[in-house]
Amino acid sequence: MKNKLHLIAISCLAMVIARMLYAENIKLIFLIWNLFLAWIPYYTSSYLVERQNELNLFKTIFLFVISICFLPNAVYLITDLIHLKPRTGIPLWYDAMILFCFSLLGLIYNTITLINMERFAKFYLPMKWVILFMCLLITASGFGIYLGRELRWNSWDLLIHPFQIIIDTIECIVFPFENTTAWYMTFIFGFIQFLFWYVFRNSSTTIK
């Protein structure tokens, strides 16, 4: 499965490079960076699950935190579809194909990451708490997409500007009717993540 995902990722990168050479501009090159950010939680969570019995406490906590903090970046790729528009020098259908492939791969990374996090949580928590943990994680990830797309916060801003992010989050909670976009995005993107996680969580071939 991993090798197949690598093949999809390489194909996505090749399509962007081919676009750059054909159109002689660097439009959509940001997708490469966004895909890398989406790959991070997939990699760290997979490593965490596969080496769970070999990692010390520090590495376990580090990989766990990184997986959670970067999780929204995977589904964030779906929001890059807003960049689809006619451009000179390149067919619209080609840009549509690129954006679709990147968003689909981001959704796959997100789903596998959630499955990994569930498997990790089962090692430490009873099942009823695992489900609660997953629901909270998915909700937080949905809200994280709002923070990234609408408020333009990045994952590393959790370390650089944690208090401002906390303030923005509290404001959305205290004044929900003044921040309806936050809750619409949290619900929609949370639902999409929950749906794919629920459908594929018992797949024996997900990360093999």
- Residues in CB range of 193: below 8 A, 6 or more apart: 75, 110, 111, 114, 138, 141, 142
The whole-number pLDDT of residue 207 equals 52
pLDDT at position 158 is 86
What 8-state DSSP symbol labels residue 25?
S
* Per-residue confidence band for 1, with pLDDT thresholds at 50, 70 and 90: confident
- Mean pLDDT of the region 175-202: 95
Q: Residue 17: enclosing H or E segment and its boundaries? A: helix 2-23
Question: Does 99 or 207 have the greater pLDDT score?
Answer: 99
- Statement: residue 73 has pLDDT above 90: yes
Is the pTM higher than 0.85?
A: yes
Q: What is the mean pLDDT of the chain?
A: 93
The residue among 63, 38, 41, 67 whose CA lies nearest residue 51 is: 63
What's the pLDDT tens digit per position in 50-67?
Answer: 998 888 999 999 999 999
Q: Which amino acid is it at 52?
A: Q
Domain ranges, ordered by start, for the chain:
2-200
List, for residues 135-178, the tens digit of each pLDDT value: 999 999 999 999 999 999 998 888 888 999 999 999 999 999 99
Position 85 pLDDT exceeds 60: yes
pLDDT of residue 61: 94
CA 42 to chain centre: 8
Answer yes or no: is pLDDT of 90 > 70.
yes
Q: What confidence tens digit (pLDDT) does each residue in 110-124 have? A: 999 999 999 999 999
The letter for the amino acid at 1 is M
β-sheet bridge partners, residue 90? 87
Give the pLDDT of residue 84.
96
Q: What tokens appear for 44 in the block?
A: 């760290």
Distance, first Cα to last Cα, the chain:
5
Q: Measured between alpha carbons, how far is 33 from 42 in angstroms, rounded to an integer?
A: 15
